[in-house]
């Protein structure tokens, strides 16, 4: 039999990728394109969902051409996506009714505060696993329904569809206005704040409280099953998985056993710990989320430490300050000095997510003296990523009692050796990077391949995982504790800046 391939689309915050994998899990072809970041006001971030759909079509074509493959040589297509980003579109025309509101956008802070009422930030936590925060999709949808003239009425009449990016892509891939299927998977649905974590269904009381009409919502399905058949360039290919990008990385990193964890370093960083078939509530600022659900098998849950800004701080250092020309230039600049010179950067651009959930925080640079150079700042920028990770690792231990003994890492920032060494140093445990660092696409491909019989089970997938590089802790304990103390003082300085959002 001739070899069949599996394609995955990773629709991320900054770019869309399509990767085609062979049966052994190795990459056959990649294509990637960026899309526009739209910043209408401080704290607001939007994407054009129509642009995203056209970039996705372009990278699919690019990957197929690069591999020299036709659609009929693909066994399945998997989808993974930036999570929470919210699209509302007109079912009749297929056009978005507004720019998508991106997960980092803070415009719903006041609405979330109002929704909390006397119960505060944890009003829906027992049901959804999430604190009320501008991060999640439900309030973003509610904001659009309130603010776009006439939209609520049209939504109640069933003319409007809501979706996170997975739903938007699957609907378009399977025909759009001509029979597109309107579905989402449990991982993406778990980020709306509208789904009950135990029943995996939309929660009627939360829908009522948030005033989101049921008529706009997609059907919630598992993460690995055939949702429909693609049309267009991928005509005939089963669309067979959907996972939020971070959950896809869990799957691609083969974190299938309870107690295994990974951290992905992209725009933000997201550390997920597999807690097995029961959701574990967090008391220390983490969130409880779906990990994956493969077909009719029981769902697997994770505890997650969500950090909004890590790689995006490097981009800011490059694009807004202009101190480097490309992200990889930050490493030699940081390595040109021995330490941070006393400077700390807390990138609270969208407030702070885990473990603080403070929408009133804004970014600060502390410890400045005349001694500090751009090289010290480059170090402080990188160190902000490892300290934020340390904070969520500590919270994970407090919540679960699981002490992470090694950390599997992936994502663009793991190319940075200085950062990975610092990460191992501040955690005091080894950090390991796999051979296929594109774990997000790989996870979506694995799930789609499981749904269509390309791979038979998790053990087969686990056997693909191979170590590429690792870093062992070298920092003296007293240096680590002193620096951690300084970091926490810097974090406190970021609190209470944006007073309208103060709780």
Which window, 13-21, 64-72, 212-220, 366-374, contacts ligand ATP (CB under 6 A)? 13-21
3-state secondary structure of 65: helix
160-164 and 86-90: which strand pairing?
antiparallel
Dihedral angle, C-alpha 382, 133, 286, 435, nearest 10 °: -50
Dihedral angle, C-alpha 442, 311, 129, 498, nearest 10 °: -160
Minimal CB distance to Mg ion: which residue? Answer: 12
Unique residue bearing structure tokens 């696993």: 129
Q: Does 311 bind Mg ion (CB under 5 A)?
A: no
Angle between helices 477-494 and 417-427 (to 10 degrees): 100
Unique residue bearing structure tokens 């002490």: 403
Dihedral angle, C-alpha 434, 437, 443, 449, nearest 10 °: -90
Which window, 339-347, 406-414, 443-451, 481-489, contacts ligand ATP (CB under 6 A)? 406-414
Q: Which residues contact 68 (CB under 8 A, 6 or more apart)?
A: none
Please say which residue, 149 or 322, places its beta carbon nearer to ligand ATP.
322
Please say which residue, 61 or 415, places its beta carbon nearer to ligand ATP.
415
List binders of ligand ATP among 259-298 (CB under 6 A): 266-267
Q: How far is the CB of 308 from ligand ATP (least distance, A)?
A: 11
CA distance 132 to 241: 28
Please say which residue, 267 or 306, places its beta carbon nearer to ligand ATP.
267
Q: How far is the CB of 136 from ligand ATP (least distance, A)?
A: 17
List binders of ligand ATP among 66-95 (CB under 6 A): 82
Total residues at the site for Mg ion (CB under 5 A)?
3
Q: How far is the CB of 232 from Mg ion (least distance, A)?
A: 24
List binders of ligand ATP among 173-192 (CB under 6 A): none
Euclidean distance between the first and final Cα of the chain, in Å? 62
In this chain, which of 14, 177, 398, 406 binds ligand ATP, going by CB under 6 A? 14
Binding mask 245-264 for Mg ion (x = CB under 5 A): x-------------------
Unique residue bearing structure tokens 């829908």: 207
Q: Does 96 bind Mg ion (CB under 5 A)?
A: no
Query: Residues in the chain, how many?
Result: 503
Taking Cα atoms as reference points, which of 57, 82, 54, 65 lies closest to residue 20?
A: 65
Taking Cα atoms as reference points, which of 83, 82, 61, 64 lies closest to residue 73?
A: 64
Q: Does 12 bind ligand ATP (CB under 6 A)?
A: yes
3-state secondary structure of 265: strand
Please tell me what DSSP assigns to residue 43: T
Q: Which residues contact 74 (CB under 8 A, 6 or more apart)?
A: 4, 5, 6, 7, 20, 234, 237
List binders of ligand ATP among 418-477 (CB under 6 A): none
Q: Does 266 bind Mg ion (CB under 5 A)?
A: yes
List binders of ligand ATP among 292-331 (CB under 6 A): 311-312, 314-315, 327-328, 330-331
In this chain, which of 96, 129, 238, 412 binds ligand ATP, going by CB under 6 A? 412
Q: Which does 69 bind (CB under 5 to 8 A by kind): ligand ATP, Mg ion, none?
A: none
Total residues at the site for ligand ATP (CB under 6 A)?
21
Q: Does 46 bind ligand ATP (CB under 6 A)?
A: no
3-state secondary structure of 392: helix
Q: Does 12 bind Mg ion (CB under 5 A)?
A: yes
Q: Which does 111 bind (CB under 5 to 8 A by kind): ligand ATP, Mg ion, none?
A: none
Which pair of tokens denotes residue 140? 């973003």
Which window, 10-18, 41-49, 68-76, 368-376, contacts ligand ATP (CB under 6 A)? 10-18
Rounded to whole angstroms, what are the CA distances from 443 to 55, 182, 239, 269?
21, 22, 14, 17
* Site residues, Mg ion (CB under 5 A): 12, 245, 266
* Site residues, ligand ATP (CB under 6 A): 12-15, 82, 245, 266-267, 311-312, 314-315, 327-328, 330-331, 411-413, 415-416
């Amino acid at each position: 039999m001739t070899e069949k391939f599996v394609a995955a689309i990773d629709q991320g915050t900054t770019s869309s990728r399509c990767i085609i994998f062979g049966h052994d899990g190795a990459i056959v072809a990649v294509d990637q394109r960026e899309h526009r970041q739209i910043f209408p006001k401080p704290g607001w971030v939007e994407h054009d969902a129509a642009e995203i759909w056209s970039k996705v079509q372009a990278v699919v074509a690019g990957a197929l051409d690069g591999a020299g493959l036709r659609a009929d040589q693909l066994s399945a297509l998997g989808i993974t996506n930036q999570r929470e980003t919210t699209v509302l579109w007109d079912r009749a025309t297929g056009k978005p009714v507004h720019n998508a509101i991106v997960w980092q956008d803070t415009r719903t802070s006041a609405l979330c505060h109002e929704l909390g009422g006397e119960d505060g930030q944890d009003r829906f936590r027992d049901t959804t696993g999430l604190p009320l925060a501008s991060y999640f999709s439900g309030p973003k949808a509610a904001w659009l329904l309130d603010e776009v003239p006439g939209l609520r009425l049209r939504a109640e009449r069933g003319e409007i569809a809501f979706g996170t990016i997975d739903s938007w892509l699957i609907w378009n891939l399977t025909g759009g206005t001509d029979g597109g299927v309107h579905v989402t998977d449990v991982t993406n649905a778990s980020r709306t704040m509208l789904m009950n974590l135990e029943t995996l269904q939309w929660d009627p009381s939360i829908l009522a409280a948030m005033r989101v009409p049921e008529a706009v919502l997609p059907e919630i399905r598992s993460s690995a099953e055939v949702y429909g058949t693609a049309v267009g360039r991928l005509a005939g290919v089963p669309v067979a998985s959907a996972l939020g990008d971070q959950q896809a990385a869990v799957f691609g990193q083969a974190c299938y056993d309870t107690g295994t964890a990974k951290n992905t370093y992209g725009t933000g960083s997201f550390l997920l710990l597999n807690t097995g078939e029961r959701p574990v509530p967090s008391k220390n600022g983490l969130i409880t989320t779906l990990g994956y659900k493969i077909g009719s098998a029981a769902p697997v849950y994770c505890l997650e430490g969500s950090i909004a800004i890590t790689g995006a701080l490097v981009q800011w250092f490059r694009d807004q300050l202009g101190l480097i020309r490309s992200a990889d230039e930050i490493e030699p600049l940081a390595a040109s000095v021995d330490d941070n010179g006393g400077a700390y950067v807390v990138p609270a651009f969208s407030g702070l997510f885990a473990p603080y959930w403070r929408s009133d925080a804004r970014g600060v640079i502390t410890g400045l003296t005349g001694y500090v150079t751009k090289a010290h700042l480059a170090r402080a920028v990188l160190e902000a990523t490892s300290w934020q990770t340390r904070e969520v690792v500590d919270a994970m231990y407090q919540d679960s009692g699981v002490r992470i003994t090694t950390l599997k890492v992936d994502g663009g920032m793991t190319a940075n050796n200085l950062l990975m060494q610092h990460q191992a140093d501040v955690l005091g445990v080894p950090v390991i990077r796999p051979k296929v660092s594109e774990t997000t696409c790989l996870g979506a491909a694995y799930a789609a391949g499981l749904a269509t019989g390309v791979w038979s089970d998790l053990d087969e997938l686990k056997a693909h995982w191979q170590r590429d590089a690792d870093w062992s802790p070298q920092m003296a304990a007293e240096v680590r504790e002193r620096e951690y103390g300084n970091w926490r003082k810097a974090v406190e300085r970021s609190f209470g800046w944006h007073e309208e959002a103060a709780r």
